[in-house]
Structure 1
């Protein structure tokens, strides 16, 4: 299987999100990186914690893994796919959070908590 079969582009992911289809976005970056900015609606499961959290993800219809540049998230796809309880479609965000942020807004921890751009 080629890496492309394991990836989804930012445009494709945005289309899924806008259509309202169920998709779990699993950001495997560190909590500090996640707090600086993330894809709206994503959840933070740092890469090293993925094996412990994998059962929680198993029932999802669609999972998209996210890392800085799209390399580690390909490894995360393989880990999730190897779990026998995984039945859904698992893909890595092509180009990672960097590619997403070129065309789409990131959500910061402050904005998510307050609902505004205000830092306080």
Structure 2
């Protein structure tokens, strides 16, 4: 096991730990992209409006897992949320995240 895994665990384990704590999944793709397929019970908050939704997201009072099509936009969203003191992890692409959560 590498030093990174010892310190932080692997991403799949971290995602499962967040989900076990009833994390909210926020899909930051556009509404059109989201309508083409998404993780059940995820919330669609497109990346460009994340900054205006910070207080709403804080009000969930739960950890957040972000996702998008490939992981780039969700990484940006996670950075914005972290800067606002929200516990968040970038789940990456929604299809990959879906398989990690084993719905």
TM over 0.5: yes
| Alignment TM-score, normalising by the size of structure 2 | 0.72
Report the equivalent of 1:92: 90
Deviation at residue 98 of structure 1 after TM alignment: 3.3
CA distance in 1, matches of 2:88, 2:17: 16
Structure 1 residues 69-96: Cα deviation after superposition (integer angstroms, max 9, x where no partner): 112111111101111xx34x200113x1
List structure 1 segments (4+ residues) > 6 angstroms apart after TM superposition: none
Is this contact kept in 2: 1:66–1:93, CA < 8 A? yes
Is this contact kept in 2: 1:8–1:92, CA < 8 A? no
Report the equivalent of 1:52: 52
Deviation at residue 97 of structure 1 after TM alignment: 1.4
Report the equivalent of 1:74: 75
Structure of higher CA gyration radius: 1
Which runs of 5 or more structure 1 residues have no equivalent in the other structure?
106-120
Count of residue pairs brought into register by the alignment:
94
Structural RMSD (CA): 2.7
Report the equivalent of 1:108: none
What SS does the corresponding residue of 1:74 show, helix, strand or coil? Answer: helix
What SS does the corresponding residue of 2:48 show, helix, strand or coil? Answer: helix
Structure 1 residues 91-116: Cα deviation after superposition (integer angstroms, max 9, x where no partner): 0113x1132356756xxxxxxxxxxx
| Residues 102/91 of structure 1: CA separation in 2 closer, same or farther (3 Å cut) | closer
Which runs of 5 or more structure 2 residues have no equivalent in the other structure?
none
CA distance in 1, matches of 2:52, 2:15: 26
